Amino acid sequence: MQNRMLAKEDPELFLQQFPPPCIIDEIQYAPELLSTIKAHADGRKDDKGLFWLTGSQQFRLMQGVTESLAGRAAVVTLNGLSNRELALRRNAIAPFVPAGPPSAYTGSRDASGQPLNDLASLFQRLYLGSYPALHSGEIDSSLYYSSYIQTYLERDVRELSQVGNVESFFTFLRVAAARTGAMLNLSDMARDCAVSVPTVKHWLSILTTTSIIYLLKPYATNRSLRLVKSPKLYFTDTGLCAHLAGYSSPETLAASPLRGAIFETWCVSEVLKSWWYSLREPPLYYFRDKDGNEIDLIIENDGRLHPVEIKLGATPQKDWIKSFSALKKLGLPLGPGAVLSLTSEPFALDRDISALPAGWI
């Protein structure tokens, strides 16, 4: 508390007492520091990494960064622990991009020895989620998520917007969780929540701002008039999603109608993390045309489109990639593709397309 008061009342003295390089946690509670940090950064332009600023309230933190440190700070999006981190892959820093035939994935095995290619281990991971505290094994996940939702509502939501009816907003969270992995339909969500479409749009903006959900945009070009325009909704943490959807155990989640969507959500979030944690903006989209051809992920990298399908199955099938051919109609360069699945080893589905164990993302 004394350090926080010093940071607010005398920022220059605070930085004399804690000179750079230093890590300042929960910087949003002392925004007075930012202008002084800016002056220090401008005075030492050749020095990188002088200040590492972290905060648990993204909206307030980014508000201060954009106002005071524009052009001087690199912004890193940190959600939960990635599968790579949990597997202790210290050298896995490159973002995920399909590489080609099975031989291209040599050395990608999950270092923990748990490839997550069976339903039990997979849904245990999906149900637990990615928040670090839960992986200590000392906290009940149901209690954790209940408390998280309560503090999230009290702290972030009420700060971002005056939500008049907290119970209606909680209903909206549950409705959104049941739609993870689905195309966004504002009218349907508004009807199920008994609120207006503008209210749903506003609440969705809160969830995206606070990184609770990610809206995956459809791929579109000037020549793609027959492609859909609505984004797909994904929760960034499957544990929180499962809790909001009302599942009480990994077993009930694995047997639920939502299991395929939860698996897809986990795969998308892991690909997102592989880009975010490599300090790169994820060039991710999905593809769907008016003829019903759909591809779960499109990764646009180095001028090429890489198709990725996600299947909750253990036996790779050629039928899984039948929609990949629809990309040829766009007339754009295509790269290797992949199917993320429960297969135990990479399996060739075509010359440059492999079915991969999802735990290898």
Residues 308, 239 share a domain: yes
Q: Give the pLDDT of residue 248.
A: 93
Is pLDDT of 43 > 90?
A: no
Q: Let me know if residue 74 belongs to a domain.
A: no
Q: Give the pLDDT of residue 108.
A: 54
Angle subtended at Cα 55 by Cα 178 and Cα 136, rounded to the nearest 5 degrees: 65
Which string of DSSP letters, residue by residue, matches 291-355? TS-EEEEEEEETTEEEEEEE---SS--GGGGGGGGGGGGGT--B--EEEEES-SS-EEEETTEEE
Q: Let me know if residue 75 belongs to a domain.
A: no
Q: Let me know if residue 76 belongs to a domain.
A: no
Tens of pLDDT, residues 245-288? 999 999 999 999 999 999 999 999 999 999 998 888 999 999 98
What is the distance between the alpha carbons of residues 30 and 24, in angstroms, rounded to a whole number?
Answer: 10
**pLDDT band (50, 70, 90) for residue 162:** low
Tens of pLDDT, residues 112-139? 445 566 788 899 999 999 999 998 888 8
Kind and range of the H or E run holding 241: helix 238-244
Residues 179, 35 share a domain: no
Residues 218, 260 share a domain: yes
**Of 41, 68, 95, which residue is a domain's last?**
68
Residues 53, 110 share a domain: no
290 neighbors 228 (Cβ within 8 angstroms): yes
Q: Let me know if residue 221 belongs to a domain.
A: yes
What is the distance between the alpha carbons of residues 107 and 99, in angstroms, rounded to a whole number?
Answer: 13
**Of 13, 42, 68, which residue is a domain's last?**
68
Q: Give the pLDDT of residue 96.
A: 93
Mean pLDDT (whole number) for 169-193: 94
- φ and ψ of 345, to 5 deg: -140, 155
For 344-357, b/e burial (b = at least 16 CB within 10 A) is: eebbebeebbbbbb
Q: Let me know if residue 213 belongs to a domain.
A: yes
Which of residues 332 and 69 earns the better pLDDT score?
A: 332
Tens of pLDDT, residues 52-110? 888 766 666 666 566 666 667 777 778 889 988 888 776 667 899 998 888 877 655 54
Return mean pLDDT, the chain: 85
Token pair of 316, please?
A: 């790779």
**Of 68, 101, 122, which residue is a domain's last?**
68
Residues 14, 100 share a domain: no
242 neighbors 62 (Cβ within 8 angstroms): no
Which of residues 238 and 327 earns the better pLDDT score?
A: 238
Is pLDDT of 111 > 60?
A: no
Is pLDDT of 35 > 60?
A: yes
Give me the percent of the chain exceeding a pLDDT of 90: 44
Q: Let me know if residue 91 belongs to a domain.
A: yes
- φ and ψ of 287, to 5 deg: -125, 130
Q: Give the pLDDT of residue 114.
A: 53
Residue 249 is part of which domain span? 83-360
Is pLDDT of 222 > 80?
A: no
Report field, pTM of the whole predicted structure over 0.85: yes
Q: Let me know if residue 149 belongs to a domain.
A: yes
Residues 295, 154 share a domain: yes
Q: Let me know if residue 40 belongs to a domain.
A: yes
Mean pLDDT (whole number) for 196-215: 90
- φ and ψ of 335, to 5 deg: -110, -175
Is pLDDT of 240 > 80?
A: yes
Mean pLDDT (whole number) for 173-195: 95
Domain count, the chain: 2
Token pair of 301, please?
A: 């990298």
**pLDDT band (50, 70, 90) for residue 45:** confident
What is the distance between the alpha carbons of residues 342 and 320, in angstroms, rounded to a whole number?
Answer: 13
Q: Give the pLDDT of residue 110.
A: 47
Residues 276, 197 share a domain: yes
State the virtual CA torsion across 310, 316, 318, 322 in degrees, nearest 10: -10
Residues 302, 237 share a domain: yes
Which of residues 272 and 155 earns the better pLDDT score?
A: 272
User: Helices 259-276 and 119-128, interaxial angle, to 10°?
Assistant: 70
Residues 28, 99 share a domain: no
Residues 97, 236 share a domain: yes
Residues 206, 130 share a domain: yes
- Any idea which of 14-18, 33-37, 246-250 has the lowest mean pLDDT? 33-37
Which string of DSSP letters, residue by residue, matches 331-345? T--B--EEEEES-SS
Residues 22, 141 share a domain: no
**pLDDT band (50, 70, 90) for residue 15:** confident
**pLDDT band (50, 70, 90) for residue 164:** low
Whole-number Cα distances in Å, 282 to 40, 125, 252, 335, 338: 31, 23, 32, 17, 17
